Amino acid sequence: MKKERNKSIGPYIIGFIVAIGLLPVLVVLFLNMRLMINTIDNRISVESKNSISRVQNRIEGIQDTAEKATDEISKNKLLRQPVDTPEERRAVEALLKMIRNTDATFGDIYFAPKGHAIVSSIGVSTEVGKYSNREWYTRALEDPRVVHLSKPTADINTGEIIMTLSKAVLSNNQFMGVLAIDINMEEISKIINNTKIGRSGRMILLTQDGDILGSGDPKERNTNAKDQPFFQQITKKKGDIKTKTGHSHYIQTEDGLIIVAGIINKEFQVEKEAMMKISAIVTVTWGLLAIVIALFITKQIIKVAKVLVSSFEKASKGDLRAKVTNLRGVEYAEGAEKSQSKLHNLFGTGEVKEHGTEINQIVVAFNNMLDGFAKLVRNIQGESNQIADMSVSLSDISKQTNSATEEVSETITGIAQATSSQAIDAEKTVIQMNDLGSTIEVINQSAVNMNEKALGANDDNRNNSSLMHHVHENWELERNKLKALVDDMGVMNGDIQNINKIIQVITDISTQTNLLALNASIEAARAGEAGKGFAVVAEEVRKLAEQSSESTKDIEAIIAEIQLKSNQMVNQVTDSYDGGMKQTEAINNAIESTNKVTSQFEDIIQEIQAIDMLSQEVKNQKDSVMFAVENISASTQENAAGTEEVSANAEEILATMEEFTANIHSLEEIAESLKKQANSFDI
């Protein structure tokens, strides 16, 4: 018949360790993938809207500056009088040049006197017939008291797309001409051209007619997008555009410009492929590492189990010398004495230590139990030898007594001698049986003490289990504190995100400072020669305002980096909290292991109690033998009192001796059996 192989828990341990190692990794990678897609989508959406808002604010700031400059220039006395002579035209041209130089966004500033050619800051002179039908001129005539902003259109001289602010100049309600400022769109176009949305996205600035003024894609610049799918979806003041190639966010300004910011669909695919590649590498690496760790742990557990099973088998066969001195086997211990490698220093040599781990404590308790059994067996062997000797002696005495009893009827003298000898032997027997009783009492007390110590060890193990539960409860409190820290980090992260509002206020202050510098320049021009020094100061103030604007942009970039690091910090604290969940699972496993040890202790206590019952039974047998020996002694004393009664009681004595012989024979068999069983142990 084929021998059935023992089953092993090794494959289960390997599978379990690999599973608990890979499952969290796969879950985290899946969640990171979903979180990455959502984060990219939200980031690009916020980035698109912020970029559009930044461009729109810049356009509005330029328009506000030009509008206030137009309003201030129109109040200058040089424009409120007829401009007919060359000297008057040169004076106006000098004023317009000075104001144009105060702001790089001013393309040209010109004044169209009533009935005369234009006076331009760049020296361009246009006759009345060429400008009288232009939108900036006609709208100023329609409502002379407000500043008008024309839609983006091509410049009459350069052909570039410009926006013109114009206002009629009145003097005592008399029309003197129209003042106009062309806003140069070059700065806005540069912002549009250089702004990236994500990795592959771009911004587009175009007119309501589809003319593209600026784009992150050089191929789209100076073209018309009227027939493109994204332009046909622009139907509201602002909204989202989705096409086959990507999706964007747009907004229409009040002055007829459309600002678009978006990405192509490839953006998500590139990020996703990169994440999938990283995920595959992490999964394979961690899987291999988990397998190596599982094989190592399984090998150590199986090695310890084999050492313990080997010792248990030897002990079950009576070898009480089968102590466990090294959890990795005797061969390993001998090799460890010769070679102390780094592995030994890291994981130990496996030597059993009294105050080591729970497994070490179990092995120490097992070794102590073997020592206790060995001591008990030594005592039993010694006592069994004494019982065997006494049973042999009693057997001889019983034979002699029987022989004497048979000879009673032949001679009274022989009876008297036999009776005297029998009395002496009976007294010795009583003394020896009393000694035997004391020895059995000691054996019984040893069994009771062993039972009490086993119960005490079981109680200590239960206390250890209670302490493990207490550790588990304390760890749960610490994990809840870590959860509170995660929540506080989230609140702090939200506060950091609001810093952009402060930056916007600084930007507005810079714009107002620039405008004040412009007003100062205008007043300096109005003062003539006396205001030249003031004009220089105003120019320096304007430069400082521009530097402040550039510094604000740098601060905005730094704040964006701080916001990114704040998000990373929140993610790291969240990972730490997830690691705490794994520690909780390890504590639960330790509690389960302690409960198993408690169950094994209860089994050992039951075996000790069984030994106690056997020793009690031996004690009862001793009492029976003592009773029989005392009867013999009483009979012998009666025989010694008077030989005249010996003959009458000879048959009774013979019957009593037969019973005594049977008891002695039983005692001899018990002693022999006890001796064989005690000698079967190797001490």
What are the pLDDT digits (tens) for 583-601? 777 777 777 777 776 777 6
For strands 106-113 and 238-242, give the pairing: unpaired
Once rounded to an integer, what is the mean pLDDT over residues 72-96?
89
Residue 362: CATH number of its domain:
1.20.120
449 within domain boundaries: yes
Residue 536 has pLDDT above 60, yes or no: yes
Query: Looking at the predicted structure, is the pLDDT value of residue 82 above 80?
Result: yes
Kindly state whether residue 319 falls inside one of the protein's structural domains: no
Q: And the tokens for 648?
A: 């009458």
Tokens standing for residue 47: 């980035």
- Average pLDDT, stretch 244-265? 76
Tokens 């005594």 sit on residue: 660
Give the mean pLDDT of 288-297: 81
54 or 664, higher pLDDT:
54
Decide if 635 is inside a domain: yes
Which bin fits 198, alpha (ψ -120 to 50), beta or left (φ > 0)? left
Q: Count of domains in the chain? A: 1
Q: What is the pLDDT of residue 113?
A: 92
- Weakest-pLDDT range from 9-23, 270-284, 288-302, 416-430: 416-430
Is the confidence at residue 567, as pLDDT, over 60?
A: yes
**pLDDT attached to residue 462:** 74
Phi, psi of 150 (to 5 degrees): -85, 160
Is residue 339 within 8 A of residue 332, CB to CB? The reply is no
Q: What local confidence, expressed as pLDDT, does residue 333 receive?
A: 47
Q: Write out pLDDT tens, residues 327-368.
A: 666 554 444 444 445 545 555 566 766 666 777 777 777 778
- What integer pLDDT is reported at residue 338 of this predicted model? 47
For residue 111, the model assigns a pLDDT of 92
Closest CA to 525 of 92, 80, 85, 70: 92
Residue 191 belongs to a domain: no
Q: Which residues pair with 109 in a beta bridge?
A: 181
In this prediction, residues 302-318 reach a mean pLDDT of 75
Mean pLDDT of all residues belonging to the chain:
75
Residue 57 lies in a domain: no
Q: Give the β-pairing of 148-149 and 212-215.
A: unpaired
The answer to whether residue 235 scores a pLDDT higher than 60 is yes
384 domain-assigned = yes
Q: Rounded to whole angstroms, how far apart are CA atoms 6 and 21?
A: 28
Mean pLDDT, residues 485-503: 70
Q: What distance in Å separates the CA atoms of residue 196 and residue 203, rounded to the nearest whole number?
A: 7
Element (H, E) at 586: helix 532-641
For the chain, give the percent of residues with pLDDT over 90.
2
Instruction: State which residues form the domain around 343.
Output: 330-461+614-679
Residue indicated by tokens 């142990």: 681
pLDDT at 374 over 80: no
Share of the chain above pLDDT 70, in %: 76
Q: In this structure, is residue 600 part of a structural domain? A: no
Question: What is the pLDDT at residue 339?
Answer: 47
Interval 432-476: pLDDT, tens: 777 776 777 777 677 677 777 767 766 776 777 777 777 767 767
For every residue of 121-139, DSSP letters joined together read TTS----HHHHTTSHHHHH
Return phi, psi of residue 133, to 5°: -100, 5
* Range of weakest confidence among 47-51, 196-200, 637-641: 637-641
Q: How far is CA 21 from CA 27, 278, 284, 568, in A?
A: 11, 17, 11, 24
User: pLDDT per residue over 615-647, tens digit each?
Assistant: 677 667 767 766 766 677 676 666 666 666 666
Task: Please give the Cα distance from 210 to 490 (Å, whole number).
Answer: 44
Conformation bin of residue 82: beta by default, left when phi > 0, alpha when psi is -120 to 50: beta
Range list of H helices, 330-357: 330-338, 342-347
643: exposed, middle or buried (C-beta count within 10 Å: 0-12, 13-18, 19+)? middle
Tell me how far apart the terminal alpha carbons of the chain are, to the nearest angstrom.
36
CA–CA gap between residue 65 and residue 106 (Å, rounded) = 10
Quick check: is 640 in a domain? yes
Decide if pLDDT at 114 tops 80.
Answer: yes
Residues in the chain: 683
Interatomic CA distance for residues 238 and 253, integer angstroms? 9
- Kind of pairing between the strands at 196-197 and 106-113: unpaired
77-81, 302-306, 580-584: lowest mean pLDDT where? 580-584
pLDDT at 20 over 50: yes
Q: How confident is the model at residue 180 (pLDDT cuts 50, 70, 90)?
A: very high
Q: What is the mean pLDDT of residues 47-58?
A: 81
Q: If you average pLDDT over residues 243-257, what whole number do you get?
A: 76
